[in-house]
Amino acid sequence: MADLLVFGSIAYDCIETPTASEDYILGGSASYAALAASYFAPVKISGIVGADFKPSDLERFRARQINISGLEYSGKPTFFWRGRYHDNFNSRDTLELRLNAFEGYVPQLPPSCADAEYVLLGNISPDHQKKVLESVKNPKFVVLDTMNFWIETALDSLVEMVGRADLFIVNDSEAKMLSQERNIILAGRKLRKMCPGAVIVKTGEYGAMLFHKDGFFVVPAYPVSDLHDPTGAGDSFAGALAGYLAGIEKTDFASIKKAMVYGAATASITVESFSCYKLEMTGRQEIERRAKYIKEISQF
């Protein structure tokens, strides 16, 4: 097993869904991704938290054997996001966003994290992602995640990072936006030309598609009927996927396909509760059960 470095945001979220709401709950791309990855490989989390960050939330990472030596601490409050999901759970509005600790942040990766071979650059500014990647001594496999906000506000930096990634993950609307294609297949193929490795286009409740030099692959989503909060689904998918690859130390086409199945299985657990509650409490056994079920429903 190789170590996986997970870098991204660590946040407090206030979330409203059509059926419920919760305030100041642990969120952020690195939180979800690190917890998801922790079921598959030794994880080191990196990012910055604020003065208000609760020791009990640090304990949640430690409880999953996540190495927190790469965390930095700011005198400002923790990154804050308030969002509201629309009636169909598929789209959302950002009601409030405070960068707080991330304002003016220049990541300083400690030596304890700089020798990771597997790196997941979770959704955050591509400039932050770049700074961290440049601090990693000898990265073997780099997974890059992003979101529409960075396509709109930091396109050049993002495109540069896509060019350095081994696996780039986006959702379908972001893939179309970034490629300027209407068709998801054309979008995926065009992004593959921008990324030396492979591209995964996530399709939400439908699953995800892999565009790889050795072939095309589609994994269905695990059928979720008890959806509580979609936040962190993509981060959990990326985390479990990168964790699985680090865990088996393989990154070929067949391995990425299997990693996507584990990503889909793990993401389906995340959305069945607010925050990381269900993700951190559910064992590998339930992930394995869901991965097996995904295989079952896609065979004929």
Q: Which residues bind a second copy (CB under 8 A)?
A: 18, 87-89, 176, 182-186, 189, 203, 205-207, 209, 215-220, 223-225, 227, 254, 257-258, 260-261, 295-300
Q: Which is nearer to a second copy, 73 or 206 (CB)?
A: 206
Report in angstroms how near the CB of residue 236 gets to a second copy at its nearest.
18
Give the strand pairing for 21-27 and 67-73: unpaired
Report in angstroms how near the CB of residue 75 gets to a second copy at its nearest.
42
Q: Which is nearer to a second copy, 159 or 184 (CB)?
A: 184
Q: Phi first, then psi: give them for residue 47, nearest 5 degrees.
A: 155, -175
Q: Which is nearer to a second copy, 77 or 204 (CB)?
A: 204
Report in angstroms how near the CB of residue 260 gets to a second copy at its nearest.
8
Please answer whether residues 256 and 199 qualify as being in contact, where contact means their C-beta atoms are separated by less than 8 angstroms: no
Q: Which is nearer to a second copy, 89 or 277 (CB)?
A: 89
Amino acid sitting at position 113: C
Q: How far is CA 170 from CA 60, 118, 192, 202, 248, in A?
A: 27, 19, 12, 6, 23
In whole angstroms, give the CA distance from residue 41 to residue 121. Answer: 16
Per DSSP, what are the bridge partners of residue 84?
Answer: 16, 93
Report in angstroms how near the CB of residue 251 gets to a second copy at its nearest.
15
Q: Which is nearer to a second copy, 44 or 176 (CB)?
A: 176
Q: Which is nearer to a second copy, 45 or 259 (CB)?
A: 259
Q: Which is nearer to a second copy, 172 or 286 (CB)?
A: 172
Q: Tell me which H or E stretch contains 43.
A: strand 43-49
Half-sphere exposure of 167 (CA within 13 A, CB side): 30
In whole angstroms, give the CA distance from residue 120 to residue 102. Answer: 18
* DSSP secondary structure letters along 118-177: EEEE-SS-HHHHHHHHHH-SS-SEEEEE--HHHHHH-HHHHHHHHTT-SEEEEEHHHHHH
In whole angstroms, give the CA distance from residue 207 to residue 157. Answer: 28
Report in angstroms how near the CB of residue 293 gets to a second copy at its nearest.
9
Report in angstroms how near the CB of residue 255 gets to a second copy at its nearest.
10
Report in angstroms how near the CB of residue 220 gets to a second copy at its nearest.
4
Q: Which is nearer to a second copy, 56 or 225 (CB)?
A: 225
* CA nearest to 27, candidates 15, 37, 39: 15
Report in angstroms how near the CB of residue 154 gets to a second copy at its nearest.
25
Helix extents (H) in the chain: 29-37, 55-63, 111-114, 126-135, 148-153, 155-162, 172-179, 184-194, 233-248, 253-270, 277-281, 284-297
